[in-house]
Amino acid sequence: MEIGIIGLGKMGLNLASNLKDHGYQTKGMDLSEQARLAARREGIETYETISQMVASFTGKRVIWLMLPAGEITESVLKDLLPLVLPEDIVIEGGNSNYKDSIRRGKQFADKEVAYLDCGTSGGISGARKNACLMIGGNLNAFHSIEQIFKDVAIEDGYLYAGASGSGHFLKMIHNGIEYGMMQAIGEGFQLIEQSEYAFDLAAVAHVWNHGSVIRSWLMEIAEVQFSNSPHLEEYRGIVAASGEAKWTVETALEMDVAVPTIALSLFMRNISQEQDSFSAKVVSALRNGFGGHEIVTKTE
């Protein structure tokens, strides 16, 4: 089966390589020559424009977007819509607002093209080998390509979530929870760092990740980051917010549901733009560890 990936950045290239490893005829499109070159080194056929890539298919087209949410995704989908044909399938794997996914699903359905919103978790390493996927949209389309999701995901790591928008809705809530978890870990390690004891923070993360109630992948990342930088000396405590937690809080307000932990973790991201705390350094290090998110260092 032919699958085209639009967006060959950190997530897109790793997903394309994952698909290629599973025997799919994988091709990619990116405006960046550097990104296309990196993909070609992986044996992936590349194109400079969407129209070139779409025209290269010899049969049914499955086109998977891995782009930043917002204007970039909106613009690409606008360019893609006139090029696809009935029975084609478009998968949007970025962190889009679920309300945008509902609207886009209707636009593509008007052309008899299936649109699947695919919340994607697991970071760069997940995209490469063992993703966690939450898929919303056309059920028949999902069933027709379910094997693709099964192949690129970790065992039991994909879910058909329901109607259009449901996949990105789940990813939005997932990221809100993630904000709260990272903030709690960061605050805990700030207390440890500022205590009277000379703790080895990597050793603390290591033991907590063996049998404790709070063991997790985030704790694994904490151990790695503390091993590389025992007190996160080169980090500044400035942490960006992707927008997912903001949408989670806004949705909670619309639903009259209290989400104080997620809301406070979002506010702490905002506060981090103004002050330099150790807890924010930990959160920054965790984000860098799973998603390759850029960090602000002491030299910047």
Report, as residue numbers or ranges, the catalytic residues: 171, 178
CA quadruple 99, 104, 109, 114: dihedral positive or negative?
Answer: negative
Cα separation, 7 vs 47, whole angstroms = 11
If you ran DSSP here, which 8-state letter would residue 49 be given? S
Radius of gyration from C-alpha coordinates of the chain: 20
Both tokens of 112, joined, read 């008899």
Give one DSSP letter per residue of 186-199, joined into a string: HHHHHHHHTSSS--
Instruction: Report how far residue 63's alpha carbon sits from residue 3's, in angstroms, rounded to the nearest whole number.
Output: 6
Phi, psi of 292, deg, nearest 5 = 70, 20
Are 190 and 280 spatial neighbours (Cβ–Cβ below 8 Å)? no
Asked if 178 contacts 269 with a C-beta cutoff of 8 angstroms, the reply is no
Q: Residue 12, by phi and psi: left (phi above 0), alpha (psi -120 to 50) or beta?
A: alpha
SS3 assignment for 228-248:
HCCCCCCECCCCCCCCHHHHH
Strands, E assignment, the chain:
2-6, 25-29, 45-47, 62-65, 89-92, 114-121, 131-137, 153-162
Contact present, 225 and 281 (Cβ < 8 Å)? no
Kindly report the number of other CB atoms within 10 A of residue 13's CB atom: 25
